């Protein structure tokens, strides 16, 4: 199994451009998450989803949008990129239940110039 796959691994955007970070998982997990991690910092939750068609905001949702049309995919959309969105983005998934661990992708390193 591939687990959680994120694409692209690296991207440079110009201010004002838009892009979609892709995340797909093959473990049939209900819950999926998007985090950002700034240098030397912990993970901040951007958005999460508890199942197809259901999404909700996390701690830092401004400037981002998500959709969850299938169980497998949870893309993160950046509209009008800003330098403050320069970060490493991680997608994660976990099975239903409060005590199940999350599995992470390898991250997307995004630079906005």
- CB nearer other proteins, residue 28 or residue 98: 98
- Nearest Cα neighbor of 6 from 76, 111, 99 is 76
- CB nearer other proteins, residue 47 or residue 85: 47
Instruction: State in angstroms the smallest separation of the CB of 79 from other proteins.
Output: 23
Query: Where in the chain does DSSP place strands (E)?
Result: 4-7, 10-13, 19-25, 31-37, 43-51, 54-57, 64-66, 76-78, 87-94, 103-104, 108-112
Instruction: State in angstroms the smallest separation of the CB of 10 from other proteins.
Output: 11
Instruction: State in angstroms the smallest separation of the CB of 36 from other proteins.
Output: 11
Chain residues binding other proteins by CB under 8 A are 4, 31, 33, 35, 40-45, 48, 50, 56, 58, 90, 92, 94, 97-107
Number of H helices, E strands in the chain: 0, 11
Contact between residue 91 and residue 5 where contact means Cβ atoms under 8 Å apart: no
Instruction: State in angstroms the smallest separation of the CB of 67 from other proteins.
Output: 18
- CB nearer other proteins, residue 50 or residue 82: 50
């Amino acid at each position: 199994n591939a687990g959680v796959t994120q694409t692209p691994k690296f991207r440079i955007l110009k201010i004002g451009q838009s892009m979609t970070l892709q995340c797909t998982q093959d473990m049939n997990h209900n819950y999926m998450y998007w985090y950002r991690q700034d240098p030397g910092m912990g993970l901040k939750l951007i958005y999460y989803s508890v199942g197809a068609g259901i999404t909700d905001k996390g701690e830092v949702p401004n400037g981002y949008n998500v959709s969850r049309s299938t169980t497998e995919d949870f893309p993160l959309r950046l509209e009008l990129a800003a330098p403050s969105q320069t970060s490493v983005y991680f997608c994660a998934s976990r099975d239903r239940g409060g005590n199940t661990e999350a599995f992470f992708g390898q991250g997307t390193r995004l630079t906005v110039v």
